[in-house]
Amino acid sequence: MSIVSNLLLLTLLGVLLNVIFYKSEVVQKYISLIIFAILTYLSIVMYPLVGSHFEIPFLIAGQHIGFTITYLNYYFALMITGITLLTVIFSLKFIKGKEGNTHYYTVLFLKTFGMLGVILSSDLLTFFVFWEIMSWSTFALMSTGGEPAHRSAFKYFVFAVTASMILMAGVILSYSLFGSFDFAVIHGKMASLSLPMTGFLLTIFITSFSIESAVFPVHSWLPDGYSNTFTTFTAYLSGISTRIGIYGIILFLFGVFGIQTVDKLGIIGKINFRYVFGIFAALTMIVPTFTALYQHDAKKLIAWHSVGQGGYMLIGLASGSALGIAGGMFHVLNHMAYVVLIVFAIASVEYRTGTTNLNKLGGLIKKMPVSYLALLFGIIGLAGLPPMNGFVSKWFIYRALILGGYPFLAIAAVIGTLGTILSVYKLIHNMFLGQLPERYNDVKEVGFSMQLPMWILMIVVLGLGVYPGLAMGLIAKIQVSLGLAAVPYALHGIKAASGQLDMLVVSAVFIGGIAVTWIIYLLGNRRKHVGQYNNYAGGNFLNKSVAYNFNYEFYAALEHVIDPYRKKIIERTERGIASVTDAVSEYIRRIYTGMINTYGIYVVTAFVVTIIILKELI
Amino acid sequence: MDEKITQRSVWEKISAKLSKRSLWMLHYCTGCGAIELPPTMTARFDMERFGINPMVTPRQADILLITGYLSVKTLKRVVLTYEQMQAPKYVVGFGSCTINGGMYWNSYSTMKSLDRYIPVETYIAGCMPRPEAIIASFNELINKIDRGEANSWKDYYNNYNFYKENQEHTFEGPIETYNDIKADAALFNIK
Amino acid sequence: MVNPILLIIIPLGTAFLISTLASALKNTTKYLALLALLANVWISISLLPEVLQRPINVIIAGVKPPVGINLFVGPLGAVFSVIISIAGVLILLYSFKYIEGEQQHKYYTLFLLLITGSHGMILTGDVFNLFVFFEILAISSYILVGYAGDKNGFEAAVKYLILGSIGSIFILVAIALIYEGTGTLNMADLAGKFSTLDPARRLMILVFFITGMGVEAAVFPLNSWLPDAHSSAPSSISAVLSGFVIEIALVVIIKFVYTIFAMTEVLGFLAVAGVITLLVGEFAAFRQSNIKRVLAYSSIGQIGLILFAMSLNSKAGINAGMMQIINHTASKSILFLTAGYMIVKTGSYQFSDYRGIAKKMPVSSFFFVLGVLSLLGVPPFFGFFSKLNIIIAALHAGGAFYITMVFLVLLGTIIESIYFLKILQVFYARDTAILDVKEAPFLPLLSIALFSLVILLGFLFLPQITSYTGNIASELVTKLQMAQVF
Amino acid sequence: MNTVLWIVFLPILLFVIGTFMLGYSRKYVARIERRYGPPIQQVFYDIFKLMSKKTNISHGWMHDFAILMLLGGTLLTMYFVPVPGFHFFAQYGDMLVIMYILLIPALGMALGVGETANPNGSIGISRALMMLAGYDIPFVLTFIGFAMINHTTSMYELIQVQQAGGFAGWGLISQPLLGIAALIALQGMLGEKPFEVMVAPHEIATGPMTEMGGKFLGIMMIQHAISIVVELTIYINLFLGGAVNWFDYLLKLFILFTALISVNAVFGRFRTDDAVRFMWKIPLPLAIIGILFIIF
């Protein structure tokens, strides 16, 4: 009881204190720092309590508010508190003097409260209550940052409220089917449910979570929503907020419904529920990733990738094998680490230069080497190249898909990875490489409080890449606790009958290769550093007034190839739905003409219709 | 000169023997002489036999082949390109124009002698020289490298004041190439 | 024991007192009205525990029920009296500042009459008295709608009057048919005899009664008066009308259908009507720019939801519907009352003119947000639990039909959330046009704050509230009225 | 002990093979063009000359490090690709690892080139990455298909499966569509004509290499020599039944390389979008059809 209630009460206390001290940024800042540090500590020491169940003696609809700590919860709780702490450390300086920062920490606490509640809840109703709190605070988070943020947050809200309503239907439908909200009870009675009903119920839940985790056809709220708000919020949102949807999917697919039940839901032949889900996941990987290629705003580019990376997690889960599920879960952690790292680097650049427009930046590696390194680690992770963590989880997923016999899902993953490599190179190139514009000559590296989270995350990204076993231990336990086969892991990789992975060897050989190259490099004469204007330009003279850079429309040729296939179906559909709603409401509004004679006709009509219908009924 | 040759170590001799077989050429084609280069490269004369390949950027090239006359405007580019090349580097003056102005000797706008501005390793006389002459000149260059005599590039560092003065006189002021010749001189242990 | 008749007599008497003493009391009439309503609150609350033990049957003028006139105070009546009294007091408190001027005694007279009619309608045990109280309520509300005296208010009042009269004629016809067929007007008596009537007559009575009452209850398409009336009335009156007047009419329909007519087979039709009303209301509100019209259409939507819940033919449904009524009374009152001062301060009904108003009127905006959150059913506000219960009840009714209905209800909620959020975003917009407005005065804010307590802390008293509403449910479903009287 | 020897001498061996193969390629192309051509050891001269250049300009620390990452990454790949007699590292990483460590040199290169602040280089990288999107999809798809039928992602096991089946067990014979698709993709992977638009000397001044000179270019050439052998070996291992001994291996390398440079010698250059379109229109459908054959 103590730790769970302490976690939740502390976050609430944080909300309260921040509301009280909304005028003093300094007080807010240190209160938040301290409380989040305690929260992180508490969630770490929660480990011995795994398996225990707590109830707050308070009834909702005949139901206590129940919490339970499982390995899955523990995993997510660690991620939430950890990343929030890093975000707060980074924000200490970042949000200083920004407009609308008075409620910065308040909404952060509220959001954390909602997320912790969602992941710790042990029954559907508690889950739903905290889910709503979470959605509204996400909305509040997205709304900070001016008029565009308001608009995009509104779009999110439309999706989120739809998701909550669908979830509500699911929650109550399962209550009326099973007579209980409790996950364990529902899981126990699941076998007695007829297959169509199971499918229907599962579809309801998965749809709702898919909206929250931005799966392909319902992803369009995310990029704008995440990129228009404060950049630190972009990090926080893409790092962990979206992944609560993934938590829901993991919980319901494996915890509540159970993989055996899900596997029974066949459609035609080999195509079953998981496969259909996998197709959506595959589209989530491909479409947003290639949309990211077109972006020229760093935040928006990463936001699109945030959508795309969700597809990897889902496709891992959809593969249904121990390796794939482990990969999906591991990817949540990995993605959180590197995407937050990337966005922190972007935020550092924004902090110093005031822009995230990729067409206006360049050459900052000379001025901000630490941010560059952070971004480099991040993008290597995001692109899924060894030796960073992103590779390991992606490797699990590819392998699970190939050996599970899903070649087209596997190729979707590969296509997504290639698209990612392309666009992250554009990101790092346009920000840090190329020519340094003259106006950024005085730019400095960011201070310690902003560097510290980046260094920590760099260590995490590299550490988990070389020693995936650090996280795999917990993930294997999660798998066992969900009744799945555990993945055969070792400290630095996977032990399997055919085709193992040993990241330590890979990294060591890589470092050895670099060492050998370094020796060869030293054999030559000393190198000499030259400035950026000492450059080949076909004999032309370069100076600061000559823009000699290539970053506008970086992948024009590929865009030419893709353009014919980019029909923007989703945008058009959404606009269609919006205009249909508008039209319907306009017509319905016109029912109320304002003229009393039509109203009289309505009454008479109603009278007649009532007679006709009631005559049949009685 | 002779002293330096005798001072060469065994390593330097081996190095010269190997390096002479690979000469990459940046051709600066401002004049009519460039028309002679395609036959030099293709089947009939095939300069790749000697490991001579055309290259496109000064960073990669060993030979700067100046074909034809140079005006003030193009000379600036030549100087810039020359400074961007990586030592050791060899300038080959192609045709009479680079030697004495050739048929443009009394033009008000062309440079009469290339070696007043950058050190030239070999000249190819003629208006215009045939591919045979080009190949012969390259062979001469190869032999010079082998003997350790192709050191004209050091002159640019040794006598930088001379070249700079001539350049500034012609250009009516300094040009900014972002190359610190003085510092480079120290890099090569010259002065 | 306190006599429930006082609930009707006190406001009625005070109303007469105020109108007679108006010239003497000048602007102090309002305190008289407040006293009367406070007395009502005390009476209704003190009645509550007794009624839950055993319904009270009050016989007026000593004549026994089948012949004479009586009041029947079951759980429904008692709970509703509490709602009416409390909401009445709070709205009256709000009116203290909101309604000013020489003629304010008229406002308080009519207000008290409206309360009288409300109590009467819900407590009476006699069908004809129902009609009488209905007329008192209706007429006073017609006048109150036009109280401001402007063109819009007058037009709305006339529309309301015409449609309301059609409704009351229908009700009268139904009552006449009842009396002609059974020879009794007492509800308890009627409940036993109604089934003996021939089907055609029953049908006609039912249809006349439902359509007649449906006008006041704002069931689609009989609700066409509502958007005009609710949006043109003074905001306090809008709060009253949306807060409990339409609900009373609705509950009367439900009560008749469950107990007196005992024709639960028509409930399916009512449920569909409820869902249609809900969707029409929400969609119609979707593109409104006038804040009070938005709230008015939203009331239509909510009434549809309540009708749907109460027509589920189950205790759970009625229980949930009652909770939703409490929620709607509180939250819609908050919304109308806060919007009232926003309109007064800015002089505009268009919410697009309120850009950044949250900076200038932070408390009002905050309460508005609370009201919206509760109305939308966001946890942990009270509205969440009522909506949850409604959907549980609907799904317990079972079958694809009710699942579809639930999805339509949820669709309505989505639409509702969207248009309310649009308003909230305008309130909290950063790039504020310079609004030279001040926060509302203390007294109205106090009244709003007391309403907010209900939705904020309601979930702490959920077991108690459910026990009351649960009693109502059993009253209706088990036809308690008959059992107690005979 | 044997393993240590292999680890030490494999890079040298492959470097020598690669260098001579590049020299052979230049000679071969020269002969097709009716030239005499350079001596076969020409590439070695070139590398030596570049390594002994006296000036080596660099634009910053990433430029320096990129070179290390380039050759280091290639050496990493090299060790994980089994060659006859040496497959020590195959147990630590499968084909999927190889697919992705193949990209490390490209990434390192891209970063270094980016820092040179030369748009020609950036354009070259942009084209190279777009080409990557073109050829890698069919290539990986063929591998996925091949791994799927054999139920392993380990390259060493794939070799053994093929060798167990004799000549008919070769990937190219048993799965001809996949083999052909991969062969076309391989041409793109090697950056031979018609897929060499990222270098395009006459257009963007050798693209990524624009600002590379001296030892930087020298190490790039060493890397090129090794990576060509490695990439050809991957194809041999996947579709030509691997190699039982070094004679077999060199023979297959020679034949495969000759085939590819013959195409290189007679083709012009595709524009980037045309190249990508070609890759997505010919090898990709081939690979998909091949996989459909496997599934059904």
**A 263-302: CB under 8 A from B:** none
Q: Contact A226/A347 with Cβ under 8 angstroms?
A: no
**Candidates D34, D55, D59, partner chain B, best to mutate (most B CBs within 10 A):** D55
**H or E segment and range at residue A76:** helix A71-94
Nearest CB to C159; choose among A99, A154, A596: A596
- State the Cα–Cα distance between residues A211 and A303, nearest whole angstrom: 15
Domains and CATH numbers, chain B: 2-152 (3.40.50.12280)
Tell me, letter by letter, the H, E, C secondary structure of C293-351: HHHHHHHHHHHHHHHHHHCCCCHHHHHHHHHHHHHHHHHHHHHHHHHHHHHHHHCCCEH
Task: List the chains bordering chain C where 3 or more Cβ pairs fall under 8 Å.
Answer: A
Closest CA of chain D from B115, distance in Å: 22
Omega before A386 within 30 of 0, i.e. cis: no
Mean pLDDT of chain B: 83
**AA letter at C214:** G
Chains A and B touching, counted as 3 or more CB pairs less than 8 Å apart: yes
Q: Do residue A422 and residue D210 have CB atoms under 8 angstroms apart?
A: no
Tell me the C-alpha to C-alpha distance, in Å, between residue C432 and each of A230, A373, B47, C439.
Answer: 20, 41, 76, 16
Strands (E), chain D: 56-58
Torsion of CA A470, A473, A479, A482, to 10 degrees: -110
Task: List the chains bordering chain A where 3 or more Cβ pairs fall under 8 Å.
Answer: B, C, D
What pLDDT is recorded for position D24? 92
Task: Report chain B residues whose CB lies below 8 A from the CB of A541.
Answer: 76, 80, 175-177
- State the Cα–Cα distance between residues C51 and C98, nearest whole angstrom: 36
Nearest CB to D97; choose among A372, A386, A558: A386
What pLDDT is recorded for position A232? 86
- State the Cα–Cα distance between residues A301 and A423, nearest whole angstrom: 8
**Candidates A22, A128, A172, partner chain C, best to mutate (most C CBs within 10 A):** A172
Going by the DSSP 8-state scheme, the letter that residue D209 receives in this structure is G
Q: Would you say residue A241 has pLDDT above 80? A: yes
Q: Do residue A527 and residue D215 have CB atoms under 8 angstroms apart?
A: yes
Torsion of CA D106, D107, D112, D113, to 10 degrees: 60
User: pLDDT tens digit string along D248-283?
Assistant: 889 988 999 999 989 888 888 888 888 888 888 888
Q: Does B53 touch chain A (CB under 8 A)?
A: no
- Strand pairing partners for B27? B65
Tell me, letter by letter, the H, E, C secondary structure of C391-422: HHHHHHHCHHHHHHHHHHHHHHHHHHHHHHHH
Going residue by residue through chain C, which has 486 residues, state the pLDDT in tens, using 9 for 90 and above.
677 788 888 888 888 888 887 777 777 777 888 888 888 888 888 888 888 777 777 777 666 655 567 788 888 888 888 888 888 888 888 888 887 777 777 888 888 888 888 888 888 888 888 888 888 888 888 888 888 778 888 888 888 888 888 888 999 998 888 888 888 787 877 877 887 888 888 888 888 888 888 888 888 888 888 888 888 888 888 888 888 888 888 888 888 888 888 777 788 888 888 999 999 988 888 888 888 889 999 999 999 999 998 888 888 888 888 888 988 999 999 999 898 888 888 888 888 888 888 888 888 888 999 899 888 888 778 888 888 888 888 888 777 888 888 888 888 988 888 889 888 888 888 766 656 778 888 888 888 888 888 888 877 777 778 888 777 777 777 765 544 444
**AA letter at A190:** M
Task: Report chain B residues whose CB lies below 8 A from the CB of D42.
Answer: 21-22, 51
Nearest CB to B178; choose among A526, A528, A534: A534
Task: Report chain A residues whose CB lies below 8 A from the CB of C162.
Answer: 596, 599-600
CB pairs < 8 Å spanning B and D? 87
Pick from C171, C227, C230, C180: nearest CA to C201: C180
What pairing do the DSSP bridges indicate for beta strands C69-73 and B90-94? unpaired
Chains D and B touching, counted as 3 or more CB pairs less than 8 Å apart: yes
- State the Cα–Cα distance between residues C61 and D138, nearest whole angstrom: 96
For residue B120, count CB atoms less than 10 angstroms from its CB and return exposed for 0-12, middle for 13-18, buried for 19 or more.
buried
- State the Cα–Cα distance between residues D63 and D58, nearest whole angstrom: 6
List for chain D the helix, strand, coil content (%; round to 5). 75, 0, 20
- State the Cα–Cα distance between residues A183 and A8, nearest whole angstrom: 21
Closest CA of chain A from D68, distance in Å: 5
Task: Report chain A residues whose CB lies below 8 A from the CB of B78.
Answer: 539
Closest CA of chain A from B178, distance in Å: 5
- State the Cα–Cα distance between residues C411 and C473, nearest whole angstrom: 27
Count Cα neighbours of C167 within 13 Å in the Cβ-side half-sphere. 31
Task: Report chain B residues whose CB lies below 8 A from the CB of A533.
Answer: 178
Q: Do residue B178 and residue A539 have CB atoms under 8 angstroms apart?
A: no
The pair of three-digit structure tokens given for residue C267, joined into one six-digit string: 């409930």
Closest CA of chain C from A585, distance in Å: 5
What pairing do the DSSP bridges indicate for beta strands B63-67 and B122-124? unpaired
Closest CA of chain A from C396, distance in Å: 6
| pLDDT confidence bin for B190, thresholds 50/70/90 | low
Q: Do residue B59 and residue A536 have CB atoms under 8 angstroms apart?
A: yes
Torsion of CA A223, A228, A233, A239, to 10 degrees: 10
Nearest CB to A603; choose among C215, C265, C378: C215
Residue C49 or residue A341, greater confidence: A341
The pair of three-digit structure tokens given for residue C60, joined into one six-digit string: 């007026």
Tell me the C-alpha to C-alpha distance, in Å, between residue A28 and each of A17, A24, A92.
Answer: 8, 6, 10
What pLDDT is recorded for position C483? 44
Q: Does A524 touch chain B (CB under 8 A)?
A: no
- State the Cα–Cα distance between residues C349 and D140, nearest whole angstrom: 63
- State the Cα–Cα distance between residues C470 and C319, nearest whole angstrom: 5
Closest CA of chain D from A234, distance in Å: 25
Task: Report chain A residues whose CB lies below 8 A from the CB of B80.
Answer: 539, 541
| pLDDT confidence bin for A61, thresholds 50/70/90 | low
Q: Does B81 touch chain A (CB under 8 A)?
A: yes
- State the Cα–Cα distance between residues A342 and A379, nearest whole angstrom: 7
User: pLDDT tens digit string along A515-543?
Assistant: 988 888 888 888 888 888 888 888 888 88
Nearest CB to B49; choose among D36, D45, D50: D36
What pLDDT is recorded for position B6? 59
Going by the DSSP 8-state scheme, the letter that residue A257 receives in this structure is I
Closest CA of chain A from B188, distance in Å: 10
Q: What is the mean pLDDT of residues B76-87?
A: 86
Closest CA of chain A from B35, distance in Å: 20
**Could you tell me which residues of chain D have a Cβ less than 8 Å from any Cβ in chain B?**
26, 30, 33-39, 42, 45-46, 48-50, 52-57, 201-202, 205-206, 209-214, 217
Interface confidence: ipTM more than 0.90: no
Task: Report chain A residues whose CB lies below 8 A from the CB of B84.
Answer: 534, 536
- State the Cα–Cα distance between residues D46 and D209, nearest whole angstrom: 15
Q: Contact D181/D292 with Cβ under 8 angstroms?
A: no
Give the 3-state secondary structure of residue B25: strand
Q: Would you say residue B2 has pLDDT above 60? A: no
Measure the CA angle with vertex A251, ends A245 and A257; round to 5°. 125
Closest CA of chain A from B26, distance in Å: 11
Q: Do residue B22 and residue D36 have CB atoms under 8 angstroms apart?
A: no
Q: Do residue B59 and residue D35 have CB atoms under 8 angstroms apart?
A: no
Q: Where are the alpha helices (DSSP H) in C218-289?
A: 225-232, 235-240, 246-255, 267-286
Task: Report chain A residues whose CB lies below 8 A from the CB of C384.
Answer: 129, 132
Q: What is the mean pLDDT of residues D179-197?
A: 86
Full domain range(s) for residue D183: 2-295
Q: Do residue D75 and residue A511 have CB atoms under 8 angstroms apart?
A: no
How many other CB atoms are there within 10 angstroms of residue B123's CB atom?
A: 20
Pick from A71, A90, A94, A73: nearest CA to A8: A73
Measure the CA angle with vertex C27, ends C26 and C33; round to 5°. 105
- Strand pairing partners for A272? A266
For residue A265, count CB atoms less than 10 angstroms from its CB and return exposed for 0-12, middle for 13-18, buried for 19 or more.
middle
Tell me the C-alpha to C-alpha distance, in Å, between residue D247 and each of B136, D180, D238, D242, D243.
Answer: 43, 24, 18, 12, 8
What pLDDT is recorded for position B1? 45
- Strand pairing partners for B23? B52
**Candidates D34, D42, D118, D204, partner chain B, best to mutate (most B CBs within 10 A):** D42
Q: Closest-CA residue in chain B for A532?
A: B178
Nearest CB to C392; choose among A157, A172, A605: A172
Task: Report chain B residues whose CB lies below 8 A from the CB of D35.
Answer: 42-43, 46, 48-49
Closest CA of chain A from B101, distance in Å: 22
Strands (E), A322-370: none
